[in-house]
Structure 1
């Protein structure tokens, strides 16, 4: 079930979230796009440079497909766009879809953007407000500003929550690092 949650869109830098150690960037995935101009493809979308961008080539909607090798938890999708530089190429409405493959994708979010400049964070949650576990994520650009035909996206980042076990959490404290304590830290 899709929800128009423009108020949940966050304008933040994904690098800050990674620094705190609660999330990690998902890198073990296959990324494809529905179309691109020569020299403006997936490589430019993922190169960590705000100077380069992916440029679509064709009819709307423009799609970015992210396929994971195993079911993966996803808590945020971040996109970097800049209306001042890209004007009519800047996305105005984005749909986020998840599923196991191309034929069973369900729309979970529809986001409206108003002249974005910088990182836009989109929380990805299920109905219980937990990160979604999925094999495939699709970002669909439904419309652009000024009725533009092609799209520029400068970067995308996908974050997964870092899951810590009780032992990993306790190992962070010096007072629990003695041999005596560690021998009782697991149940056999």
Structure 2
């Protein structure tokens, strides 16, 4: 299997055939959002756009695939320099067949992330 560097830009990797972006095969839901900072901001190929939540924590992004889909890598761009107080300090990934049986598979603490 091909190994990729943790900071590699996903679109560049997709062009090499190393990864395949599957987000367009899913339905995305947000726990909350500020006007103008909606789910579409997460899916455009522009690092200047972002989702901004306006609700109580935890802030959730729920990605549901229409059929069983294997996801091997999850790429999230976070920039403390750009976002400061809005940058997440903890990210958790969970998987399951439906919202009621989600199992956390990974939790990551972020300290002033850049990339």
Shared fold (TM-score greater than 0.5)? Answer: yes
TM-fit CA distance, 1:44: 1.0
Q: How many residues are aligned here? A: 110
Quote the residue 1:103 is aligned against.
Answer: 100
Q: Distance in 1 between matches of 2:44 and 2:11?
A: 15
Q: 2:70 aligns with which of 69, 73, 85?
A: 73
* Aligned-partner SS, 1:94: strand
2:48 corresponding residue in structure 1: 51
Q: Which has the larger radius of gyration?
A: 1
The answer to which structure has the higher strand fraction is 1
Q: What are the equivalent positions in structure 2 for 1:24-43 lying under 5 Å apart?
A: 24-26=20-22, 27-43=24-40
Q: Which runs of 4+ in 1 moved over 2 A?
A: 9-12
Higher relative contact order (CA 8 A, sep 6+): 1
1:60 deviates by 1.0
Structure 2 equivalent of residue 17 of structure 1? 13
Q: SS state of the match for residue 111, structure 1?
A: strand
- Identify unmatched segments of 5+ residues in structure 1: 1-8, 119-188
